[in-house]
Amino acid sequence: MSVRRAGPADYEAVTSLGRELDHELPPPPAHVGPFDTEDRDVRAILESELAFVAEDDDGAVTGYALVRRRDARAAMLADVYVVPGARGSGVAPRLMRAVTAALREEGIETVDLAVAASSAIARSFVARWGFRDEVIVMKATVELLEERLGRVESGSFGSIHLQSDDISAVEEAVRQFVPRLPGGSRGSLVAPPRNGWIAVYDDVCDRDPEMLRRLARELSDRMGAVTLLLGVEQDDVVRMTLFERGRIVDEYLSVPEYHGPLPPGDVVGLQANPRVIHRLTGADPDVIRSTARTATSPADLPPARELLAALANAMHVAGAEHGWSDAPELEGAVRISR
């Protein structure tokens, strides 16, 4: 087997293999654009860019590599392909060694390539050569974007509940951590104790479930208290996270795979544990078991706000049905401005 520089005379051989490659791989990421294996892209590279072919002992082309220059110091590996019968015999590495030698000779320092995220085998293969993820291109249909963005714009809210009667200590903890949150907020509200729980509402966290989770964890760690996060996401699902001394001890999402597929173990991990909840909140395990149900679709469960209210009631928590925008004006509540 030998590797040599390719030119216009190799057009037919390269495009023939290119058609085989097209059948094996999914389309390239949208930002890369289609690679025309039968016309101007291949012709242009063979005429003026860097191209190499591998040949067997009979002179048949068994693989090729095509490279485009991006600028004086960077290039893109447009294509590298080896026929199935020649794989595992070192053809691809030898093609790449020829590529790197030519790139070094021209003073090119970096080379990139596009690999479909779904092509785990290809990603693993080129990672062994030294390629690493640098830019992740995410793709969605316009229809899905319209649907999800419509949900995100409204319907998400949440609150944090600390198992404490010391409102001054909670207020101090909130004042310490809230300034770390992003700007643009109208502040926080710390509600006085009800049923042994102090509620915390925050404008930023009300709109961002991940920020709500971060604030709950930090308050639990600072206070050393059992801390409960309760919220509705996109008006579809209910999330509950229970912290003890800053550590998550139980978590619940009414539709575990709402945000995307999960490993089976993670799905189970998002189902409420009645015994843990009973130990930390005193809630009746049977009531939690019947209330904190999960499903594959929001349509298979009660409305999210109704489910949230039932779950909060089971744990004797008041005020969880409110977000910042409609937080109750309670006597003794402390407002904290940014």
CATH number at residue 17: 3.40.630.30
For residues 113 and 235, membership in a common domain is answered with no
pLDDT category, 18, cuts 50, 70, 90?
Answer: confident
Q: What is the mean pLDDT of residues 178-205?
A: 79
| Tokens read off for 326 | 């409609």
Does residue 144 lie in a domain region? no
pLDDT value for 34: 44
Q: What is the mean pLDDT of residues 100-114?
A: 91
Q: How far apart are CA 98 and CA 113, in angstroms?
A: 16
The yes-or-no verdict on residue 239 having pLDDT over 50 is yes
Does residue 288 lie in a domain region? yes
Provide the percentage of residues in the chain whose pLDDT is more than 90.
53
For residues 161 and 123, membership in a common domain is answered with no
For residues 268 and 171, membership in a common domain is answered with yes
Q: What is the mean pLDDT of residues 136-159?
A: 70
Does residue 137 lie in a domain region? no
pLDDT value for 140: 76
For residues 100 and 176, membership in a common domain is answered with no
For residues 161 and 124, membership in a common domain is answered with no
For residues 10 and 80, membership in a common domain is answered with yes
The yes-or-no verdict on residue 273 having pLDDT over 90 is yes
Q: What is the mean pLDDT of residues 63-82?
A: 91
For residues 288 and 182, membership in a common domain is answered with yes
pLDDT value for 95: 93
pLDDT value for 99: 93
**Are 38 and 68 in contact, with CB atoms under 8 Å apart?**
no
Q: How far apart are CA 190 and CA 168, in angstroms?
A: 9
Does residue 19 lie in a domain region? yes
For residues 170 and 317, membership in a common domain is answered with yes
By residue range, what is the domain housing residue 301? 154-336
pLDDT value for 250: 96
Looking at 47-51, 130-134, 157-161, 171-175, which range is the least confident one?
A: 130-134
| Tokens read off for 198 | 């102090």
Does residue 254 lie in a domain region? yes
Q: What is the largest CA-CA distance in the chain?
A: 90
Based on the structure, what is the number of domains in the chain?
A: 2
Does residue 146 lie in a domain region? no
pTM for this entry: 0.56
Look at strands 226-233 and 74-82 and give their pairing: unpaired
The yes-or-no verdict on residue 165 having pLDDT over 90 is yes
Q: What is the pLDDT of residues 294-310, one digit of tens each?
A: 999 999 999 999 999 99
Amino acid at 34: P
Does residue 148 lie in a domain region? no
Q: What is the mean pLDDT of residues 162-182?
A: 83
